[in-house]
Amino acid sequence: MTAQSPAQHAPGADAATTPWWRDAVVYQVYPRSFADADGDGMGDLPGITAHLPHLRDLGVDALWLSPFFTSPQRDGGYDVADYCDVDPRFGSLADADELIASAHAMGLKVIVDIVPNHSSSEHELFQQALAAGPGSPERDMYVFADGRGEHGELPPNNWTSIFHGEAWTRITEADGTPGQWYLHIFDTSQPDWNWQNPRVHALFRDVLRFWLDRGADGFRVDVAHGMVKPEGLPDAAVNAEGLLDIPEGEVPIYFDNDGVLEIYREWRPILDSYEGERMMVLEAWIPEHRLPLYIGPEEAHQSFNFGFLQATWGVETMRAAIEKPLALADAVGAPTTWVLSNHDVIRHATRYGFPPGYRFGEGLGRAETPDAALGLARARAATLLMLSLPGAAYLYQGEELGLPEVAEIPDALREDPAHLRAGVPGRDGCRVPLPWRADAPAYGFSPTGESWLPQPEEFGALAADAQEGVPGSTLEMYRAAIALRREHGLGRPDAPVEFLEDLPEGLLGLVRGEVVVLVNTSEQELPLPAGPDGLDLADAEVLVGSAEPVPGRLPADAAVWLRRR
Ligand code: NOJ
C-alpha cells in the first residue's frame, strides 16, 4: 500500500529565529500536590525546587506554576488574596526567588499563573469595597450592582456560575441592611474585578511587572476570555429548563467580549519591554474562529488548544483535532499548542479507558470504572502523537508517570468548589499528590507521610523511582520522546505535517521530516504499512514506541515513531 498525496500543513516561521515558547514542552506544576518539603501534607515551593532535577531529566523546556500566591485556598489558589506574595502554606517570596533561580540555572523557563478575572473575597481591596458604601471608588473595583425586585432582593441578572448556582451574592451593608450584589462567575469567594475601572488595569500592570522583575519568563492567563462583561450586564438567553442557553461551540454571555483583547494589547508592550522572550499563554475556552483575535504580535503569544484534549480515540477524530489547529495556526501566524491533561480535567490515562463518545460528568464518580490498562495504553499512544506535532506541548504533572484519575476520594475530603456547591465529583481526582518513591510514606510526597488528599495504593507501582531506568515505563517513554522530539526538531514548524493516506482501517499515520508516526486505534495488531514514497516501514528504525515492539507490526492501541532509512 502506498501513501498518496499527503495533506500538508506548515505554519510559516523562520526556524532560526524561533522563540523558545513556540515549540516548548511545558510542564504544569500544581504546587499543592507536587512535593511537600515541610511535611504539612501540602506541597510547597521548596518541594518543587528540590525536585527540579526530575523536570531537567524529563527534558522539558519550562515549568508553569499554578497559583502559589496568598490565598484562602477556596479554589486551590485560583482565589488570590495577594498577587505579589507567596501563601505561607507554599513558602515565602525568598522561596519563589530561589525556585526561579534554580530553574534558570538548569535551563528551565518559569511561567507564572495570573488570575485577572477575579480575586479572593479576602483580597484587601474587596474587603475595602464591602466596607465602603454603594457608589464608592472602593466598590467600583469590583462588579457590584443593585438587585432587582421591590427591595433589591433579586439578583441583578440571571447569570449562573461556572461552579453552579447563581453568579451573584448579596451583601449586608456596613449598617446591617441587606445591600448590593456582587458578581462571581466562579465561587462566592471569587468576586470578579471590574475591568471598566482604570485602577484595575493599573493594578494588574504592576502585578505583571512584579513577577517579570523577579524573573518570570511568562504568564499563563486564567479565564483569559472572562474579564470584560457586556455593557449593562444584560440577562442571558435561557432555555426551556431555565438554564443559560449556550449554543454548541459558543460561550456564556459573560465570556469572550471584545474588550478583553484590549487588555492583551495593554500587556504585550510590558512583556516586550523586558529582556528575553517573555510570553503569555491564554486559558481561553473560546470558539475557534475567535482565536485569531487573541493571538498576534500585539496580543497574546499563544492559547491552549483544548480540541486535542477533547478528541475521542479514533483516526478521524484525532486527525481532525490536529488539522484544525494547524490550519488556524496558519491563519494566526503562530504555532498551536497541544494539551492532553491539566488540573481541571479527568486525566487522559483514565479518559481513554472509557469507550469513545462516553459522556463524562464533572469529575469521575466512584461508580464509573474505566478499563485502566486500555486507558494507559491509549494515553501513552496519544502522548506520542502529541509530542510529534509542531507547536508547544503542555504536560500536566504525573502524566509522565501514567497516573490515573482517582475516583475513591471520600467526599468529606474533596475541596473543589464545584463539588461543594453542586455535589459533582469535581476535579480533586486529578490533583492527588504525586508518588515519588514506592516504599516511602505518602509515596515520598511528604517526609511525614501526610498528604492533603489520600493516595491510592496503585500509586506505589507508578512512583517515579519505580519507573526510573525501567525500559518501557511511562516515565522512560516520556523522556525518550521528549529527547527525540528535540533531536528531530519535531516541535518546530519547518517540517510539514504530512498525513499518510489510504492506510488500513484504524491506523493514523503522519510524517515529520524523517520521522514517521503511526497510531493504531484499532483493536487488532496491524502490519506496518508502506510509508511515504512506498517505503517499507517494516525495515525502519524504531525510535520510540508506546508498547512492547513486535517486529514489522504495531500492537492495538499503540503508537510508534519510526525513522525512514
Ligand atoms: C481556570 C482554572 O484552571 C481553574 O482551576 C479555576 O477553578 C478557574 N479558572 C477559576 O479561576
Q: What is the pLDDT of residue 494?
A: 76
- CA distances in angstroms from 132 to 128, 129, 135, 269, listed in the order given: 6, 5, 9, 35
Please report the domains of the chain, with CATH numbers, ordered by start residue.
20-117+197-478 (3.20.20.80), 124-183 (3.90.400.10), 497-563 (2.60.40.1180)
Place of cell 479576602: 122
Question: Does the pLDDT at position 444 exceed 70?
Answer: yes
d(CA 516, CA 531): 8
- CA distances in angstroms from 15 to 11, 20, 407, 498, listed in the order given: 11, 11, 44, 18
State if residue 78 touches ligand 1 by the CB under 6 angstroms criterion: yes
C-alpha of residue 193 to centroid of ligand 1, in Å: 15
Cα angle for residues 378, 487, 352 (degrees, 5° grid): 10
Q: Which residue has the higher pLDDT, 495 or 41?
A: 41
Residues 203-207: what's their mean pLDDT? 98
Q: Specify the ligand 1 atom closest to the Cα of 117.
A: 11
Do 206 and 156 meet the contact criterion of CB atoms below 8 Å apart?
A: no
Question: Does the pLDDT at position 481 exceed 90?
Answer: yes
Q: Which residue has the higher pLDDT, 539 or 449?
A: 449
Mutate to test the pocket of ligand 1, among 78, 281, 424 (most ligand atoms within 8 A of CB): 78
Instruction: Give the residue numbers marked as catalytic.
Output: 222, 283
Average pLDDT along the chain: 94
State if residue 192 touches ligand 1 by the CB under 6 angstroms criterion: no
Given phi > 0 = left and psi -120 to 50 = alpha, else beta, which region is 375?
alpha
Residues 103-111: what's their mean pLDDT? 98
Query: pTM of the predicted model, to two decimals?
Result: 0.96
C-alpha of residue 81 to centroid of ligand 1, in Å: 15
d(CA 22, CA 336): 8
Question: Does the pLDDT at position 122 exceed 50?
Answer: yes
Q: What is the pLDDT of residue 13?
A: 43
Cα angle for residues 507, 508, 511 (degrees, 5° grid): 130
Q: Write out pLDDT tens, residues 423-442.
A: 999 999 999 999 999 999 99
C-alpha of residue 377 to centroid of ligand 1, in Å: 29
Question: Does the pLDDT at position 19 exceed 80?
Answer: yes
d(CA 253, CA 245): 10
Q: 201-228 burial, b for 16+ CB within 10 Å, e for fewer?
A: bebbeebbeebbeebbbbbbbbbbbbbb
Write out the H or E segment, with its range, that includes residue 28. strand 25-29
Whole-number percent of the chain with pLDDT over 90: 88
C-alpha of residue 76 to centroid of ligand 1, in Å: 9
Mutate to test the pocket of ligand 1, among 75, 342, 421 (most ligand atoms within 8 A of CB): 75
Q: Write out pLDDT tens, residues 298-335.
A: 999 999 999 999 999 999 999 999 999 999 988 888 88
**Per-residue cell: 396:** 500536566
**CA-proximal residue: ligand 1, atom 6 (nearest):** 78
State if residue 44 touches ligand 1 by the CB under 6 angstroms criterion: no
- Of residues 70, 2, 25, the one with CA closest to residue 492: 25
Sorting pLDDT into bands at 50, 70 and 90, what band is 7? very low
Q: Write out pLDDT tens, residues 359-418.
A: 999 999 999 999 999 999 999 999 999 999 999 999 999 999 999 999 999 999 999 999
Residues 538-558: what's their mean pLDDT? 93
Spell out the residues 6+ positions from residue 452 whose beta carbon is closer than 8 angstroms to its own: 32, 33, 41, 42, 433
C-alpha of residue 522 to centroid of ligand 1, in Å: 35
**CA-proximal residue: ligand 1, atom 5 (nearest):** 344
Q: What is the C-alpha end-to-end distance of the chain, expressed in Å? A: 18
Specify the DSSP class assigned to residue 5.
Answer: S
Lowest mean pLDDT among 138-147, 166-175, 286-295, 457-466: 286-295
Q: Specify the ligand 1 atom closest to the Cα of 118.
A: 11
Q: How many CA atoms lie within 13 A of 251 on its CB side?
A: 19
SS3 per residue for 361-385: ECECCCCCCCCHHHHHHHHHHHHHH
Residue 479 amino acid letter: R
Q: Write out pLDDT tens, residues 513-538.
A: 999 999 999 999 999 988 777 778 88
State if residue 75 touches ligand 1 by the CB under 6 angstroms criterion: yes
Query: Which of helix, strand or coil describes residue 27?
Result: strand
State if residue 223 touches ligand 1 by the CB under 6 angstroms criterion: yes
d(CA 180, CA 144): 6
**CA-proximal residue: ligand 1, atom 10 (nearest):** 78
Whole-number percent of the chain with pLDDT over 70: 97
Q: Specify the ligand 1 atom closest to the Cα of 163.
A: 7
Question: Does the pLDDT at position 108 exceed 70?
Answer: yes
